[in-house]
């Protein structure tokens, strides 16, 4: 178990931290600002279909002199229905300072909110972004 | 307006009749029997309601139908004819049960749309839930009312081992398939090797053959599909033949009834779970916690897609199982069923609580939000109930009697009449 934990740690350390340019260069991504970070994300596939799993490429770029993110969490919620997804999305570091979030499914048409939580420097930034499915 | 296969079959019958029997009157009778809408009352005045653009878009989301075939990557014999033949034979085989009296077809009766017409199913003993149809079951993401199965083949194992249903064991199934010459021969054809010595392997393979057969149980086109496609191509003439009461019911279904939020898409189900205020106490005592039990069961199941028997090396088929998690709201939820052929699958709900479609629609019309959500009540230090911010999807619709009848009329147009006449048993030819 210790060897596996070490491998994960090495993988995280080996990823170069995202810079503002990482988000600027993220082609086709939607951008959303929190107090200390810029988040750029793109779902796969681009068009989210009701009842179909999808994933998300995500970059979290610290604004000037802000801390590198220590953890990133993405969830989703349906405000009008007051429920979330039936699945827990997982976020893993990926190439180029990005993250890969997997396991999303919006199981109903209507307005959903992505909820992004970025923890760094002992504080958590929380920001939401709406998407409506027909 | 008959589907292509049916039309082709009827045409073939007609040619034969005209050439060999020349019984014109009978031929005319068959033509009449094949008129549009499969026996649903037509709309003689040709009225087409003034559907808004938003309503049309909502209606179009319920098609096209049928959905193209795609194989199940977790089942290496999905779609294979030899496996389908073996699965069909096993489906009707009572020797699969411990005492040789019960088969899959005991509860999933072909002439009853693969249900049994009973409030709750009965194998060797009565069970707690209604027998769901297995027509179109290949389109499910989760299987069983609580989703305790994450694949059709894993779900097919459950009733074989349940002591109230077939009450078999891995050893019993292994012994049967190894010792019966015909079954062993078919197993060899389907899997390319003779039945193994390992009972688990044989039982899982038998379940995969059963799944391959069940994947072929699909419903055909319905009056609703013809209406939907007419709307899609802007053919008002064809669309206006759809019964007017069904049009009104459809408008409620996609509009103020919000039924299509859950009964979404071509199969009229989003494949997930909901709590709708149906009594959840079991006859024998205790509570049926539905989806909450299902999530626990699937995560503990040694035959789930997360385990070794999944034939999909990439495990992409296991994404739902990998990410599903238990939430408070899952207590008392049950799977949202497809509504295709719903008029043929009474009684309704997970425990057969309602005998008719009218009762079901009335349930949603008069639903009491206070009956929803079975989670434990939580109180603050002053004894005041804390608002748990639980879901608020269902609200009373307060439908009139005519509106209830209209929704039922719409649901009846989701019937594929051809599926009333399925093959009853496998062909007799033995495997050599």
Q: State yes or no: cis peptide before B2, omega within 30 of 0.
A: no
Please tell me the predicted confidence (pLDDT) of residue B388.
Answer: 56
A128 pLDDT more than 70: yes
- The residues, ordered by sequence, that sit 6+ positions from B277 with a Cβ below 8 Å of its Cβ are B363, B367, B368, B371, B372, B394
- What is the Cα–Cα distance from B290 to B330, expressed in whole angstroms? 7
- What is the Cα–Cα distance from B9 to B5, expressed in whole angstroms? 6
> Which of B260, B319, B391 is the closest to A103 by Cβ?
B319
In the beta sheet, which residues pair with residue B430? Answer: none
Please tell me the predicted confidence (pLDDT) of residue B286.
Answer: 86
A120 pLDDT more than 50: yes
- What is the Cα–Cα distance from B230 to B59, expressed in whole angstroms? 11
Chain A residues within 8 A of B261 when measuring between CB atoms: 108-110
Please tell me the predicted confidence (pLDDT) of residue B279.
Answer: 85
Comparing CA positions, the residue from A126, A71, A76, A80 lying closest to residue A104 is: A76
Helices B199-214 and B170-179: crossing angle, nearest 10°?
A: 80
CA B11 to each of CA A54, B7, B26: distance values in angstroms, whole numbers, following the listed order = 45, 6, 13
Report the percent of chain A where pLDDT is more than 70: 88
Contact at CB, A50 and B265, closer than 8 angstroms: yes
Distance of CA B211 to the CA centre of its chain: 13
Comparing CA positions, the residue from B323, B329, B338, B349 lying closest to residue B391 is: B329
Please tell me the predicted confidence (pLDDT) of residue A15.
Answer: 59
CA atoms within 13 A on the CB side of B36: 17
* Residue A39 and residue A60 in contact, taking contact as beta carbons nearer than 8 Å: yes
Instruction: List, as one string, the DSSP characters of B231-262.
Output: HHHT-HHHHTTS-HHHHHHHHHHHTTT-GGGT
Mean of the per-residue pLDDT values of chain B? 87
> Which of A82, A83, A87 is the closest to B324 by Cβ?
A87
- The residues, ordered by sequence, that sit 6+ positions from B301 with a Cβ below 8 Å of its Cβ are B148, B149, B150, B154, B307
Please tell me the predicted confidence (pLDDT) of residue B391.
Answer: 59
Contact at CB, A82 and B327, closer than 8 angstroms: no
Query: For B118-132, what is the mean pLDDT?
Result: 95
Rg (CA), chain B: 23
In the beta sheet, which residues pair with residue A102? Answer: A90
Report the percent of chain B where pLDDT is more than 70: 83
* Residue B91 and residue B294 in contact, taking contact as beta carbons nearer than 8 Å: no
- What is the Cα–Cα distance from B188 to B143, expressed in whole angstroms? 28
The tens digit of pLDDT for each residue in A54-77 reads 999 999 999 988 988 999 999 999
Apex CA B207: angle with CA B203 and CA B210, to 5°?
140
In three-state secondary structure terms, B287 is strand
The tens digit of pLDDT for each residue in B37-47 reads 444 556 666 89
B31 pLDDT more than 50: no
Q: Which residue has the higher pLDDT, A1 or B264?
A: B264
Q: Which residue has the higher pLDDT, B370 or B79?
A: B79
pTM over 0.80: yes
- Give the confidence band of B21 by pLDDT, cuts at 50, 70, 90: very low
- The residues, ordered by sequence, that sit 6+ positions from B222 with a Cβ below 8 Å of its Cβ are B38, B65, B340, B413, B414, B415, B416
- Give the confidence band of B370 by pLDDT, cuts at 50, 70, 90: confident
Please tell me the predicted confidence (pLDDT) of residue A11.
Answer: 43
φ and ψ at B91, to 5 degrees?
Answer: -60, -35
Chain A CB within 8 Å of residue B20 CB: no
CA atoms within 13 A on the CB side of B316: 7
CA atoms within 13 A on the CB side of B220: 16
- Give the confidence band of B48 by pLDDT, cuts at 50, 70, 90: very high
In the beta sheet, which residues pair with residue A77? Answer: A84, A113
Residues of A with CB under 8 A from a CB of B: 50-51, 53, 80-84, 86-90, 102-103, 105, 107-110, 134
B65 pLDDT more than 70: yes
Please tell me the predicted confidence (pLDDT) of residue B27.
Answer: 40
Distance of CA B134 to the CA centre of its chain: 5
B86 pLDDT more than 80: yes
Name the region of B225 (left: φ>0; alpha: ψ -120 to 50; beta: rest).
Answer: alpha
Please tell me the predicted confidence (pLDDT) of residue B45.
Answer: 67
- Give the confidence band of B354 by pLDDT, cuts at 50, 70, 90: very high
Please tell me the predicted confidence (pLDDT) of residue B1.
Answer: 33
Please tell me the predicted confidence (pLDDT) of residue B126.
Answer: 94
- Give the confidence band of B17 by pLDDT, cuts at 50, 70, 90: very low
Query: For A95-108, what is the mean pLDDT?
Result: 93
Contact at CB, B319 and A50, closer than 8 angstroms: no
The tens digit of pLDDT for each residue in B371-420 reads 775 444 455 556 555 555 555 678 899 999 999 999 999 999 999 977 76
Chain B residues within 8 A of A89 when measuring between CB atoms: 323
The tens digit of pLDDT for each residue in B222-252 reads 999 999 999 999 999 999 999 999 999 999 9
Structure-block tokens of residue A119 = 């923890």
Helix then strand then coil, % of chain B, to nearest 5 = 45, 5, 50
Query: For B254-267, what is the mean pLDDT?
Result: 97
Distance from CA of B263 to the nearest CA of A (A): 9
- What is the Cα–Cα distance from B174 to A66, expressed in whole angstroms? 64
Helices B4-16 and B24-33: crossing angle, nearest 10°?
A: 170
């Amino acid at each position: 178990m210790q060897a596996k934990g070490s491998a994960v740690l090495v993988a995280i350390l080996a990823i170069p931290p995202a810079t503002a340019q990482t988000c600027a260069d993220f082609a086709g991504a939607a951008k959303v600002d929190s107090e200390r970070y810029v988040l750029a994300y793109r779902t796969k596939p681009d068009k989210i279909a009701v009842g179909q799993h999808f994933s998300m490429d995500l970059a979290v770029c610290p604004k000037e002199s802000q801390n590198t993110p220590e953890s990133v969490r993405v969830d989703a919620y349906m405000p009008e229905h007051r429920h979330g997804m039936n699945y827990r999305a997982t976020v893993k570091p990926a190439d180029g300072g990005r993250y890969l979030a997997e396991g999303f499914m919006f199981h109903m048409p209507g307005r959903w909110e992505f909820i992004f939580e970025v923890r760094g420097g002992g504080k958590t930034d929380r920001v939401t972004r709406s998407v409506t499915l027909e | 307006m008959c589907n292509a296969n049916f039309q082709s079959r009827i045409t073939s019958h007609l040619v034969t009749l005209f050439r060999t029997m020349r019984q014109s009157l009978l031929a005319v009778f068959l033509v009449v029997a094949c008129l549009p809408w499969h026996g649903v009352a037509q709309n003689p005045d040709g009225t087409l309601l003034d559907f808004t653009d938003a309503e049309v878009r909502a209606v179009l989301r319920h098609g096209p139908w049928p959905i193209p075939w795609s194989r199940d990557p977790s089942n290496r014999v999905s779609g294979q004819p030899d496996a389908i033949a073996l699965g069909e034979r096993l489906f009707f085989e009572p020797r699969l049960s411990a005492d040789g009296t019960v088969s899959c077809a005991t509860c999933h009766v072909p002439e009853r749309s693969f249900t049994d017409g009973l409030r709750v199913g009965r194998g060797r003993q009565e069970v707690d839930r209604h027998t769901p149809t297995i027509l179109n079951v290949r389109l499910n993401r989760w299987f069983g009312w609580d989703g305790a199965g994450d694949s059709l083949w894993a779900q097919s194992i459950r009733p074989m081992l349940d002591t109230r249903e077939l009450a078999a064991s891995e050893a019993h199934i292994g012994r049967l398939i190894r010792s019966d010459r015909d079954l062993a021969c078919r197993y060899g054809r389907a899997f390319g090797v003779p039945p193994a010595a390992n009972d688990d392997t044989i039982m899982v393979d038998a379940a995969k053959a059963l799944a391959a057969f069940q994947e072929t149980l699909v419903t055909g086109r319905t009056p609703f599909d013809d209406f939907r496609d007419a709307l899609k191509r802007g053919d008002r003439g064809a669309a206006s033949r759809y019964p007017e009461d069904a049009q009104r019911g459809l408008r409620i279904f996609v509009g103020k009834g919000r039924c299509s939020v859950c009964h979404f898409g071509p199969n009229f189900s989003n494949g997930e779970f909901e709590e709708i205020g149906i009594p959840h106490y079991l006859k024998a005592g205790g509570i049926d916690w539905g989806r909450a039990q299902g999530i626990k069961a699937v995560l503990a199941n040694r035959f789930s897609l997360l385990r070794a028997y999944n034939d999909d090396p990439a495990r992409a088929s296991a994404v739902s199982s990998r990410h599903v998690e238990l939430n408070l709201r899952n207590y008392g939820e049950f799977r949202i069923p497809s509504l295709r052929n719903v008029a043929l699958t009474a009684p309704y709900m997970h425990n057969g609580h309602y005998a008719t479609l009218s009762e079901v629609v009335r349930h949603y019309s008069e639903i009491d939000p206070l009956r929803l959500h079975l989670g434990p009540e939580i109180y603050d230090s002053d004894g005041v109930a804390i608002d748990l911010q639980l879901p608020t999807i269902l609200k009373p619709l307060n439908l009139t009697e005519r509106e209830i009848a209209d929704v039922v009329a719409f649901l009846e147009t989701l019937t594929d009449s051809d599926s009333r006449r399925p093959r009853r048993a496998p062909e007799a030819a033995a495997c050599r």
